[in-house]
Amino acid sequence: MAQDGAAVAVNYRSGNAEAEEVVAAIEERGGRAVAVGGDVSDYEQAASVVAQTIERLGGLHVVVNNAGISRDALVFNMDPGEWLEVMKVNFGGTFNCTKAALEQFMGQREGSIVNISSVMGERGWTGESNYAASKGAINAFTRCCAVEFARFGIRVNAVLPGFAPTDMVAGLMEKDGGKGISKQIPMKTFATVQEVARTAVFLAGPDSSAMTGAMLTVDGGVSAQVGVGKPL
């Protein structure tokens, strides 16, 4: 976003040092950024994040809902608290930040919301029921918001990554370096975080001005196939 000229508010919950590193990297390249603390799973804190962003940067035009956690387990073994925790952060954070930004966006009759979802929201995977359900909720929410907000000039879209090398999926890579998963991907490679990010930038900006309610997959073809793609 910063490379394309945006002033960026970097939200964090507990990772202040990491957020400041991102701010410093943006400023070193001549951009403008601030770090804004707040747990987006709590509506009041999400509203504070939005208010601080508007106050410190002078406005708000784009919201990227990217907060996410996973608590993988089989349904039989899953603690009900873990199911709720995942839903509160993943979907709750998306709902809270969207609602918190609405007054600003509706008043200026312009805004772009990009939700970082997952192909898990459209498909299934063993041990991912809570995570997949939270992302499925985000996808449905994206479509409904797109319809509701269109008359105010507000666009709402989602990016659906497949497997990408982030801290969240590190455990899946430990067994064999991810080869067991990558061989099931038609393109035989993972998406990079940069590829996912550029898709979010596209949806946020003017090149996608006619798009709302869209779900863009960045998954190397995973969601296009039946099973794992092996010959029957």
The structure tokens listed for 181 are: 């998963």
Question: How many percent of the chain have pLDDT more than 70?
Answer: 88
Q: Which amino acid is at 50?
A: V
pLDDT tens-digit series, residues 157-187:
999 998 777 776 666 666 666 676 666 676 6
State the pLDDT at residue 90.
97
Domain contains 3: no
Question: Which positions are annotated as active-site residues?
Answer: 131
**Does residue 16 belong to any structural domain of this protein?**
no
Q: Say whether 32 sits in a helix, a strand or coil.
A: coil
Residue 15 lies in a domain: no
Q: How far is CA 204 from CA 11, 23, 28, 74, 113, in A?
A: 17, 20, 23, 36, 7
What gap in Å lies between CA 40 and CA 58, rounded to an integer? 21
- Greater confidence (122 vs 227) lies with 122
CA distance 229 to 166: 24
What total of structural domains would you count in the chain?
1
Under the banding of pLDDT at 50, 70 and 90, the label for residue 226 is low
Assess if residue 10 is contained within a domain.
no
Residue 198 located in a structural domain: yes
In a domain, 1, yes or no: no
- In a domain, residue 139? The reply is yes
Instruction: Judge contact between 96 and 134, C-beta under 8 A.
Output: no
Convert 158-174 to b/e letters by CB count within 10 Å (16 or more is b). Answer: bbbbbbbeeeebeebbe
From the list 102, 99, 203, 96, the residue with the least C-alpha distance to 160 is: 203
Q: Is 153 helix (H, G, I), strand (E, B) or coil?
A: coil
pLDDT, position 232: 43
What mean pLDDT comes out for the span 37-64?
Answer: 98
- Provide the CATH number for the domain around residue 55: 3.40.50.720
Q: What is the DSSP letter of 39?
A: -
Residue 45 lies in domain = 38-223
**Summary mean pLDDT of the chain:** 91
> Is position 12 within any domain?
no
| Alpha carbons 38 and 192: distance in angstroms, whole number | 27
pLDDT of residue 163: 74
3-class SS of residue 43: helix
| CA nearest neighbour of 95 among 27, 42, 34 | 42
Q: Is 177 exposed, middle or buried (0-12, 13-18, 19+ CB in 10 A)?
A: exposed
